[in-house]
Chain A
């Protein structure tokens, strides 16, 4: 019984990892820009949810879309004000550019909200439910469903729409895309906006069960990079599979071997997968 709960918890945590990584798949996986501010985008979304709930008394039905819209605008702004310029520079400029952005976001939040931990009431979506002896938190289930929904949505957008084809064309070859009449800047800005909007949904949902503090992005960001890499660059379903796999492996290894070693198990498996499949689980070679 305990074991079933361990696997279930791992599954739900994995869904959160997948949700958290969905925005990064688009920006890093598609646009090939390493966004070190990814964790801090999620942190900003958590604060949007917090402010909307405590000051404006808005429920999750409103603050989740609100966070998505706010982060979409932030993503577009970041593209035009920063990324567009640093992309012309060497790789190092891109890395340091988004790293600088991460610090600006983090310390601006620290300045406005102080370093204190805040949180939303844990029963905003209802109390813990018991099914066949298994305990389910509604907020985590919602996060899991959202991860699934976002993954399917993004995948359909990229593979079944003209807009998706244009996005992919720009990602693949900027000059060739220009030759066929696609203006790359609006496409890239849209990719950043969509990627950031995903982090908006993720942050607002994670805020329902996690603590909120300006440095929260640090504890979640590394896993997002691993998820995208393991899933395969550019593969949206890959991130979902990788997120779930990491969640379940972490949970089982923490239970059997010990929580201090769960990262060790995850990263050994991660290296092993990259050894045999450098393109990731669902990536194209």
Chain B
């Protein structure tokens, strides 16, 4: 009896030792994602990407050797200890996000927390990490104020509002509609933090450069019907319509525009809803030529983005979207810092994060690099514009990095 029990006790050790080359107790990193609630589809994609990242770090990936931690297994800086991720469901609720962050820190004893998805939830969860002195890294939340709070433990790799507005406005300044410059721009935005803040920063940037916003239509993202907005646009006839939407409303807009026969010469759909693979699969065929921002262009064979996307597609059967890629990049940057810290003490990881200096070739995404400023914001984050062709977004602007020429006007369903 006692012998049998001793064998049983040894079993977990045997199981964990065999498949991995990594050795020692795993290093735990906590990740907050919306696995249930209205953003669950995006959370599911992100979860698959995080799990892929863990697999890539824990097993040698010679093919991706230009990226940190890929050629080796586990954390070489920590004697080859493997990475373990604890994914917590924040349920799309700011208070749940806070409780889960607390649980990750006090019960799971994670060395860092990553992601969070919605800006409003990152706000509450990162406050808990700040209080406990645990590094918090988000790769996706864009609300500008997150890095304006004077936090010392908060870092962000994604480009934010002003970066996004700058590229749209630069593009609109160079674009031509029927051979003349763009003069009339309409913005249609969902009316929570995301839509309101992005719309506001686009308006300010555009007006500073002499392009007026003729019409702004804020709406509630959970609307069951959006035909009035589409008819307002049809009535106003702007040169450019910019939509800032989540997934369900993005799908409704595409369908309603088709039903009402409305196509602006240039249609921009800002990221989250329009980048979601659910939008591309459900409504992509009737939104051909829509322009979106992205930091992720997996269309160049041989690039890290291309390879990571291929691995992700093999695992999930879907293309990796921009938001998911930004989430995964934020997670990888965190792991790189833990490795360079050479220790699991929060202060060491915080110091390593501050010293982060990755160049474009070490990333899976199209940023110029990763280097945090004193507020914790990545000063090398950058964006490019992509256009929907078939069921894929192809990079089209700036021309220097484009893989295909821009096609105007917007085609929609034709």
Given contacts A115-B43, A117-B281, A219-B224, 13 further A-B contacts (CB under 8 A): A9-B231, A114-B44, A117-B41, A117-B251, A117-B279, A118-B282, A122-B259, A210-B224, A214-B40, A219-B222, A220-B224, A260-B218, A262-B228
Interface size on B, residues (CB 8 A): 39
| Chain B residue nearest in CB terms to A2 | B235
The verdict on A13 contacting chain B, using a C-beta distance below 8 Å, is yes
Check if A215 is an interface residue, CB within 8 A of chain B.
Answer: yes
Question: Can you offer 8 A-B residue contacts whose CB atoms are under 8 A?
Answer: A115-B41, A117-B41, A209-B259, A213-B41, A215-B37, A255-B228, A259-B219, A262-B228
Tell yes or no: B59 within 8 A of A by CB.
no
B278 and A13 within 8 A (CB): no
Measured between C-beta atoms, what is the minimum distance from B229 to chain A in Å? 5
Q: Is A135 close to B, CB under 8 A?
A: yes
Give the distance to chain B from A10, nearest Cβ to Cβ, in Å: 8
- Binary per-residue interface labels of chain B (70-103) against chain A in the complex, 1 for a CB within 8 Å, 0 otherwise: 0000000000000000000000000000000000
CB distance B252 to A211 under 8 Å? Answer: yes
Question: Please, how many angstroms separate the alpha-carbon atoms of A243 and B350 in the complex?
Answer: 57
Closest to A255 in B: B228
Cβ-defined partner of B261 (8 Å) among A2, A135, A209, A250 = A135
Q: Using a CB-CB cutoff of 8 Å, which residues 239-260 of chain B contact chain A?
A: 247-248, 251-252, 255, 258-260
- Tell me whether A251 and B227 are in contact (CB under 8 A): yes
Name the CB-closest residue of A to B247.
Answer: A117
A197 to B360, CA, bound (A): 58
Are the CB atoms of A251 and B234 closer together than 8 Å?
no
CA distance A13 to B261 in the complex (A): 17
B-contact bits for A134-176, CB 8 A (1 contact / 0 none): 0101001000000000000000000000000000000000000
Residues from chain B with a CB closer than 8 A to the CB of A219 are: 222-224, 248
A115 & B222 in contact (Cβ 8 Å cutoff): no
Q: Whole-angstrom distance between the alpha carbons of A185 and B192 in the complex?
A: 47
Instruction: Say whether A6 faces chain B, with CB atoms less than 8 Å apart.
Output: yes
A255 to B226: give the CA distance in the assembly, Å: 10
**Within the assembled complex, what's the spacing in Å between the Cα atoms of A137 and B217?**
24
| A252 neighbours in B (Cβ, 8 Å) | 228
Contact A211 B231 (CB under 8 A): no
B22-46 interface (Cβ within 8 A of A): 36-38, 40-41, 43-44
Kindly supply a per-residue 1/0 record for chain A positions 247-271, scoring 1 wherever the CB is within 8 Å of any chain B CB and 0 otherwise.
1001110110011101100000000
What residues of chain B lie closer than 8 Å to A110, measured between beta carbons?
A: 36, 40
Decide if A107 touches B261 in the complex (CB within 8 Å): no
Q: Cβ of A258: which chain B residues have Cβ within 8 Å of it?
A: 217-219
B371-397 interface bits toward A, Cβ cutoff 8 Å, 1 = contact, 0 = none: 000000000000000000000000000
**Residue A58 is within 8 A (CB to CB) of chain B in the complex:** no
> In whole angstroms, what is the CA distance A263 to B219 when docked?
10
Does A32 touch B at the CB level, under 8 Å? no
Pair A116/B278 contact, Cβ less than 8 Å: yes
A259 & B217 in contact (Cβ 8 Å cutoff): yes
- Least CB distance from B393 to A in Å reads 18
| Residue of A115, A128, A140 with most partner-chain B CB within 10 A | A115
CB distance from B253 to the nearest CB of A (A): 11
Residues of A within 8 A of B247 (CB): 117
- Taking the closest CB of chain A, its distance from the CB of B39, in whole angstroms, is 8
B228→A6 contact, CB < 8 A: yes
| A252 to B255 alpha-carbon distance, docked (Å) | 20
Given contacts A6-B228, A128-B259, A135-B261, contact A211 B218 (CB under 8 A): no
B404 located at the interface, meaning its Cβ lies under 8 Å from any Cβ of chain A in the complex: no
Judging by beta carbons under 8 Å apart, are B220 and A13 in contact?
no
Q: How far is the CA of A137 from the CA of B255 in the complex (A)?
A: 11
Interface contact B261-A128, CB-CB below 8 Å? yes
B residues near A247, Cβ cutoff 8 Å:
225
Contacts of B36 in A (CB 8 A): 107, 110, 115
Let me know if A223 is at the binding interface, CB within 8 A: yes
User: Does B232 reach chain A (CB closer than 8 Å)?
Assistant: yes
Q: Does A279 contact B (CB under 8 A)?
A: no
Chain A nearest CB from B377 CB (Å) reads: 30
Q: Which residue of B lies closest to A219 (CB)?
A: B222
- Does B191 make an interface contact (CB < 8 A)? yes
Q: A117-B282, A135-B260, A219-B248 are in contact. Are A2 and B234 (CB under 8 A)?
A: yes
Query: Could you tell me the distance between the alpha carbons of A218 and B224 in the complex, rounded to whole angstroms?
Result: 10
Instruction: Judge whether A259 and B222 touch: CB under 8 Å.
Output: no
- The reply to whether B44 and A115 form a contact with Cβ atoms under 8 Å apart is yes
The 8 Å CB contact of B248, one of A107, A213, A250, A254, is A213
Per the bound structure, the CA–CA distance linking A21 and B82 in Å amounts to 55
B301-321 vs A, Cβ < 8 Å mask (1 yes, 0 no): 000000000000000000000
A43 to chain B, nearest CB (A): 13
Most buried by B among A118, A216, A259: A259
Q: A137 to chain B: which residues have CB within 8 Å?
A: 259
Cα of A115 to Cα of B246 in the assembled complex, Å:
14
A54 at the interface (CB under 8 A from B): no
Are the CB atoms of B258 and A128 closer together than 8 Å?
yes
